[in-house]
Structure formats: structure tokens, C-alpha cells
Amino acid sequence: MCMWQDALTGRLKHRYCSVLSLKEGLSAAWVPRDPLPECGESGGRDPRDMNHTKGGLVIFTANSHPSSRELGKRIAERLGVELGKVQVYQEANRETRVQIQESVRGKDVFIIQTVSKDVNTTIMEMLIMVYACRTSCARSITGVLPYFPYSKQCKMRKRGSIVSKLIASMVCKAGLTHLITMDLHQKEIQGFFNIPVDNLRASPFLLQYIQEEIPDYRNAVIVAKSPASAKRAQSFAERLRLGIAVIHGEAQDAESDQVDGRHSPPTVKTTGAIHPSMEIPLLIPKEKPPITVVGDVGGRIAIIVDDIIDNVDSFVAAAETLKERGAYKIFVMATHGLLSSDAPRFIEESAIDEVVVTNTIPHELQKLQCPKIKTVDISMILSEAIRRIHNGESMSYLFRNIGVDD
């Protein structure tokens, strides 16, 4: 009996120390208050009781990059479980090798994968781990990809391809049975999968950040840096009871219809191909209007909202335009902070006062380069989604008050 008590005491002491060290290392991100923001009833259960899970739950983090494992540690801590034992590494010839070091037979496996700078290696890690769990007789395999890679390539370009459809087919073929993601670039991407997809939203956490961390947010205006993001800005403005402004006339980006399949083949007259009486009239080419701001931003705080921040040139240009129109403070808020290339330097040298993104993508290095970058922790909603799927509970609680345009 004494040996059993010593072993139990040592185990509890080890768990306490590991949780304590984990909390010390995770204090950099802004953590929302409990319960989940903008959520109501939870079906008779206290929403703060995140540890109530049935047995047979295994959580793996597929990314071999240390900073990318941080989100998996946060989720495991909230669920009160240990991360599964797995080795993910690169061979000398750059092949990805995955070795699962515990039994997953008959268990519900959740694979958390965040996108690192090497996105193609990230995808291969995910595919190999899903297939390894499938061949090891896991009961179900759920992928947790907070940012779905290649989501920008979801439309047909000239002689290109819809790459996000290819990625969806690959993960389904590998053996994935369910997908949890967040703020897909286009909601129609869910139709590329033949498995259930839960597209969670980060807007409740960003809205809570605005209300609690921007003191004079009542004097703010929500800004869409292009007409394409006006719906998202309208959703934020209606929830915060604020005004909205739209910047129109900026240079067209890769999302414009100038580069999609509607301009392929080129509009060149071929007299022998079409009968003169059936000639198709040519569309008048677009002409970019001068930059204008629809809405009043003078003497106000401007909050630019979008789903992805990657190349920050358009955000920097929008901030300069808003400064010229009289905005005295400028925030940029988005779900996914890719922040590629020299984005931290451009943000630091720009008129932007603060960039707020979630931890769907690791960006610790960028935060060291630019103190204007702030992080909002969304592990709470991901861990609750995992708990509900594992226990067979309804997911509607996580989508309460979520509209079509959110």
C-alpha cells in the first residue's frame, strides 16, 4: 500500500509540475475569459468544465516544429489529457517519417496540425499520420487544422487548378473521418470534402478583444480594406453597434476576376473560328477608380478586419489612406496571421498601431521582430469542439448567433 501511495504521489507531482511549466510558457497570448464568448446554454453542463471527456481519446500534434506544438499543448491542458506519444521528423533525404508510439486501436484520434513556413511538409506530415492511424485501426480520425492550407487557391484561374479541392481529396483518401477548421477563406470549400466539416469562427474572440482591450472602442469604426471584405466588416459593426467604412479603388489583387478562368482563352478575334453573324461582343475593360473611403473615419479609431494577413502591402496602404482621412488610431484584426516575408518590418514602419491575430498559425518569431503584433488564444473553442465530437454532443452550441456572412 505504501509503494502504491508513493507512485500515485509522484505521478500527481509530475503532472502538477508539467502543467505549471506549461502555464508559464503560454502566458504571452491574450486568453479570453470563460465561458466561450457569445455563447449561451450548454445543454445543462457548465461550459467551464472542459475536462469532462469519455475514455478512448487520443490527441496527437503532427507538426515537428517546436513552436507549432504550442497550440496542441494548450488544447491538451484544457481537456486534462496528455498529448499522444509520436515522433515526426525528416530523414536525411527530406522524406517525412512518422512513428506512433502508443496504441490507437478502437480510439478516437484527434490530430492537431498548424501550418508552419514549410507548408508542403506540413501537409505530408498530416497525410502520413492520418494514414498511420488508419492502418492502426483507430475508430475515428479527426483532423484539427485551424488554418486550412492552400485555401486561397479555391477558384479556377486561367490554366491552373483548384488546389484546395486536391488537398481535400488527399486528406479524405488518407483516412480522415472528420475535419475541424476555422474561418475558411471561402465557406464553399466545405463542399470539396465528402466528410463532415466544422468551420468554427474566431470572431467572438476578436470582438471580445475589441471590447476589453481597446478602451475607447465606442469611438471606433469598422473598416473593410476592399469591397470584398465588406460583409465581414458589416458583421463586426452590427455586433459592436458601430459604423462601417469601405475603402474602394485599391490595386486589384490575386482574388480579382481579372485572373480567373473567365478571361481564358484571351479575347483575340479569330475570323475563321466564329461566324460574323455570331460574333460575341467584347466586355469593356475595367478601369481602377481613384482611392476613396466610403464612410466617416475622421477623429475615430479605425479597425480593419479580414480573415488572413499574409502580404501586408494592402493593409499598410489602407492604413495610410485612413490616416490621411483623419483616423487617429488604426488596428488590424484577422483570424490567420501568416505574416510572410518582411511583413513584421513593414508593420513596424507603417501607420498601423496594432495587429491582432489568433494563434491558428505560430508566429512567435514575427512577434519578436514587431511588438505591434498581438495574439488571441482560440484553444478554448477548439478543445470544446474536440470534447463535444468525442462525447457525441451537439456542435450547435459553438455556432450560436453565427450568421451566414460571419
- Tens-place pLDDT, residues 309-348: 998 999 999 999 999 999 999 999 999 999 988 999 999 9
**Distance of alpha carbon 165 from alpha carbon 141, whole angstroms:** 20
Q: Is 103 within the bounds of a domain?
A: yes
Look up the pTM and report it. Answer: 0.82
- Tell me: do 214 and 359 sit in the same domain: yes
pLDDT in tens, 228-263: 899 999 999 999 999 999 998 855 454 554 455 444
Q: Let me know whether 229 and 366 are in one domain.
A: yes
Report the half-sphere exposure of 266 (CA within 13 A, side-chain side): 3
Q: Does the pLDDT of residue 51 top 60, yes or no? A: no
Q: Which pLDDT does position 254 carry in this prediction? A: 46
Q: Which of 314, 318, 343, 312 is nearest to 330 (CA)?
A: 318
Give residue-wise pLDDT tens across range 118-153: 899 999 999 999 999 999 999 999 999 999 999 999
Residues 237 and 146 in one domain: no
Is the residue at 11 inside a domain?
no
Q: Which of 90, 88, 134 lies closest to 114, judged by CA?
A: 88
Task: For residues 150 and 72, state if they share a domain.
Answer: yes
Residues 333 and 185 in one domain: no
322 & 246 share domain:
yes
- Please give the residue range of the domain that contains residue 311: 204-250+290-376
Q: What is the mean pLDDT of residues 94-99?
A: 92
152 and 214: one domain? Answer: no
Task: Look at residue 135 and tell me if it is in a domain.
Answer: yes
397 domain-assigned: no
Beta-strand ranges (E) seen in 15-174 are: 57-61, 86-90, 96-100, 108-112, 140-145
**194, part of any domain:** yes
Q: Could you tell me if 88 and 227 lie in one domain?
A: no
Q: Which residues pair with 198 in a beta bridge?
A: 180
Higher pLDDT among residues 387 and 44, named by residue: 387
Cβ-contact 197, 182 below 8 angstroms: no
Based on the structure, what is the number of domains in the chain? 2
Residue 352 has pLDDT above 70, yes or no: yes
Asked if 193 and 295 sit in the same domain, the reply is no
Q: What is the CATH number for 188?
A: 3.40.50.2020
Residue 277 lies in a domain: no
pLDDT tens profile 171-216: 999 999 999 999 999 999 999 999 999 999 999 999 999 999 999 9
Residue 97: pLDDT over 60:
yes
Do 346 and 236 reside in the same domain of the chain? Answer: yes
Domain boundary residue among 142, 171, 200? 200
| 157 lies in the same domain as 217 | no
For residue 23, the model assigns a pLDDT of: 44
Judge whether 5 lies within some domain: no
